[in-house]
Structure 1
Amino acid sequence: MSKFDALFRSIKEKAKVVDDVIFELLPEKEPEELYEATRHYPLAGGKRVRPFVVLTAAEAVGGDWRKALYPAAAIEILHTYTLIHDDIMDMDETRRGRATVHKVWGINMAILAGDLMYSVVFDAATKAPVSAEKIVEIVRAIARAGIEICEGQALDLEFETRDTVTIEEYLKMIDGKTAALFDASAKIGGIIGTDNQEYIQALSKYGRNVGMAFQIWDDVLDLIADEKKLGKPVGSDIRKGKKTLIVAHFFQHASEEDKAEFLKVFGKYAGDVKGKGIIEEDIREEVAKVIELLKKYGSIDYASRFAKNLVKEAKEALKVLPESEARKNLELLADFIVEREY
């Protein structure tokens, strides 16, 4: 029996209720193709971690989590909208085991679907049964997260044109691209559940740290996970030339000779390599050598420790909240983020 069993049950139970609201907000209607495109990723499933944070944060400060259902669904729809646009920018062909929205319906319809979802996000946020003042705070938190996500994505795009980024630059990028939405999720739950500003700020800090840890641990898993559990080849980020905390640390500490060796492989297999006569086994061999270089400088261990310290800070922030099952679930979620294997 895992220490996370109760947490997983709670996530599953809340996900079912959130999904009902998501499909209420994204119904089957005309124009048929547009609404099919908006429902494509939600129908593929997903853990609904961000909505879970919204609902559990509301509960952790003594509020009724059901009052947070529409904002929780809004957060998941916002997250899904960013995935559609990310997939267009990256020209990815699959997501959650399905063809990406732009592959099925074309780029123009995918952009429209994303735009519709962004509008639905704000409509949903206003449906929470709370005061007008709290609605304003919720909408402001969502808008702020949206701005930060765009800023983070712009930095990520800029990184693609460079060989290296610094640790500080990478952290700034994920602070926007990934952590901002976790921050908003926890903060919105707090706004709905309480008027206590200390509690709301504590939840905001928790969300920010958990979001940063989530992304960094993803980067670690890309290099150390079991391929079957991960669902993609180990070292995919190396193949694509993706800048991570691990890579930033390596470039800060490696010799010029090792940097040159690393760059021979880094990003070499971005895009489609089928039909180019490249043998998968050869790619794996090259990627494995590069991973050994990262290990040589302790870069993977550095990122692992960094993520675990962020989780420690996230849990520390929650200590001002009263003890409860909801608070415990938030703490367990933080632990799970750096103990998961996929």
Structure 2
Amino acid sequence: MGKYDELFARIKEKAKDVDRVILELVPEKEPLELYKAARHYPLAGGKRVRPFVVLRAAEAVGGDPEKALYPAASVEFIHNYSLVHDDIMDMDELRRGRPTVHKLWGVNMAILAGDLLFSKAFEAIAKAEVPAEKKARILDVLVRTSNLLCEGQALDIEFETKEEVTVEEYLKMISGKTGALFQGSAEIGAIVGTEDEEYIGALSKWGMNVGIAFQIWDDVLDLIADEEKLGKPVGSDIRKGKKTLIVSHFFEHASEEDKAEFLKVFGKYAGDAKGDALIHDENVKEEVAKAIELLKKYGSIDYAANYAKNLIREANEALKVLPESEARRDLELLAEFLVEREF
């Protein structure tokens, strides 16, 4: 991954500036437990990829990245608020290797911490050093992004009770759940940096494509990655019954017999408290391996991998309207990395 080393270094460098703004807006203050809970995920690290997109998008269109710092923090607040609430809904106990907010502070305080992070996103926009008309437009994007996030999450919850989800339904869900925030990040950065509608539109398209591809590639990795690099057992999504583009493609092409065979395993351990331990059981591993072979039989994993890579190609093609620059190249490299990573 040598070609990405400089990109990673710049992401790390920009993250320091964003972190300064985040901790300025969410200080240690009364009520102490609320602010501790709200600071928990931001302080846990995270790569700050979405804020990096805001800053580089502003620069790629000829703007001043300094003016994009508060807007960059705003998208990270939205991202973290969604993680707090997602973890409550999924009752997950770990996030980034640390106990989740609701595990440490209880569900009620975690909901409030998420709400606080959400409101801080709008406070960050209010502090942005951009003209009033740009602030209004950025707020529009942030509101649209938040709406789409909620809609995507609601669709994902609905999918839990559906046996089959079509490719079209999946793409609609994921465009809200992961596409919207990448799209909003790129668009907000562009709005900070330019008045050029063609540039803003190009970055908006880039962001949506990259966000969808990012999630699809995650789902591919769940089935093909090296367990040590992935940091979780391969096939976790099958065990939990997670609806993905891969599974949607399979259900649209598989024979009734193969569907029935797949459904014997798919979702078998969803909501099972012992599920995480069971995945290491040899019988369970064998079941999951057979399910993965069925997905391969119909080319479903390859279909999803190619879909993600095509989205990235289209995303970077859209950026060609922008002048060549280090910032534009960073965005292109980031997009490429998201479908080349092994974890």
Give the TM-score taking structure 2 as reference length: 0.98
Task: Report SS of the residue matched to 1:265.
Answer: coil
Aligned 1:84-123 pairs, distance under 5 A:
84-123=84-123
Map of 1:159-174 to 2, 5 A cutoff? 159-174=159-174
Q: Which residue of 2 aligns with 1:315?
A: 316
- The 2-side partners of 1:87 and 1:47 are apart by 19
Task: Kindly state the Cα deviation for residue 97 of structure 1 after the two structures are TM-superposed.
Answer: 0.4
CA contact (8 A) 1:145 1:180 kept: yes
Once the two structures are superposed, the pairs formed by residues 232-243 of structure 1 within 5 Å of their partners are: 232-243=232-243
Deviation at 1:56, TM superposition (A): 0.2
Structure 1 runs (4+) deviating above 6 angstroms are: none
Amino acid at match of 1:123: E
Contact 1:62 1:194 in 2 (8 A): yes
User: Residues of 2 paired with 1:227 and 1:288: CA distance?
Assistant: 13
Deviations 1:23-75 (A, max 9, x none): 11111111111001101111111111000000000000111101100010110
**Gap change, CA 1:181 and 1:276, over 3 Å in 2:** closer
Q: Which moved more, 1:279-288 or 1:118-127?
A: 279-288
Q: Give the match for residue 83 of structure 1.
A: 83
| One-letter amino acid of the counterpart of residue 129, structure 1 | E
Residue 275 of structure 1, CA deviation? 9.3
SS state at 2:2 partner: coil
User: Following the alignment from structure 1 to structure 2, what is the Cα–Cα distance between the partners of residues 211 and 178?
Assistant: 5
Determine the structure 2 residue equivalent to 1:333. 334
Specify the alignment match of 2:152 in structure 1: 152
Aligned partner of residue 127 in structure 2, secondary structure: coil
C-alpha distance in structure 2 between counterparts of 1:117 and 1:205, whole Å: 27
The answer on whether the counterparts of 1:126 and 1:139 sit within 8 Å (CA) in structure 2 is: no
Q: Partner letter of residue 15 of structure 1? A: A
Task: Name the structure 2 match of 1:248.
Answer: 248
Q: Pairwise mapping of residues 1-342 of structure 1 onto structure 2 (< 5 A)? A: 2-274=2-274, 280-342=281-343
Q: Tell me if the contact between 2:217 and 2:338 (Cα under 8 Å) persists in the aligned partners.
A: yes
Q: 3-state DSSP class of the match of 1:7?
A: helix
Seq. identity, %: 73
Q: In the alignment, residue 148 of structure 2 is paired with which amino acid?
A: E
Shift, 1:20, TM fit = 1.0
Task: Give 1:6 deviation, angstroms.
Answer: 1.3
Separation of aligned partners in 2, 1:115 and 1:273? 28
SS in 2 for 1:289: helix
In the aligned structure 2, how far is the partner of 1:217 from the partner of 1:297? Answer: 18
User: What's the secondary structure of 2:3's corresponding residue?
Assistant: coil
Partner Cα distance (2:40, 2:257) in 1:
47
CA distance in 2, matches of 1:70, 1:206: 22
Question: What's the TM-score once normalised by structure 1's chain length?
Answer: 0.98
Cα distance in 2, alignment partners of residues 258 and 178 from structure 1: 30
Partner amino acid for 2:285?
R
- What is the CA–CA distance in structure 2 between the aligned matches of 1:55 and 1:266, rounded to whole Å? 41
CA–CA distance in structure 2, aligned partners of residues 215 and 203 of structure 1: 19
* Contact 1:75/1:121 (8 A) holds in 2: yes
CA distance in 1, matches of 2:132, 2:276: 59
Give the residue type in structure 2 aligned to 1:52: F
Cα drift, residue 273 of structure 1: 4.1
**Cα RMSD for the two superposed structures:** 1.3
> Does the 8 A contact of 2:269 with 2:275 survive in 1?
no
> How far apart, CA to CA, are the structure 1 residues paired with 2:276 and 2:42?
35
SS of structure 2 residue aligned to 1:307? helix
Range with bigger deviation, 223-232 or 169-178: 223-232
SS at match of 2:306: helix
Paired residues, number: 342
CA pair 210-275 structure 1, distance change in 2 beyond 3 A? closer
Q: Is the 1:141–1:184 Cα contact (8 Å) retained in structure 2?
A: yes
Counterparts in 2 of 1:276 and 1:88: CA distance versus 1, 3 Å:
closer
Partners of 1:249 and 1:169 in 2: how far apart? 11
- Which structure 2 segments of 5+ residues have no match? none
CA separation of 1:114 and 1:273: change in aligned 2, threshold 3 A: closer
SS class of match (1:285): helix
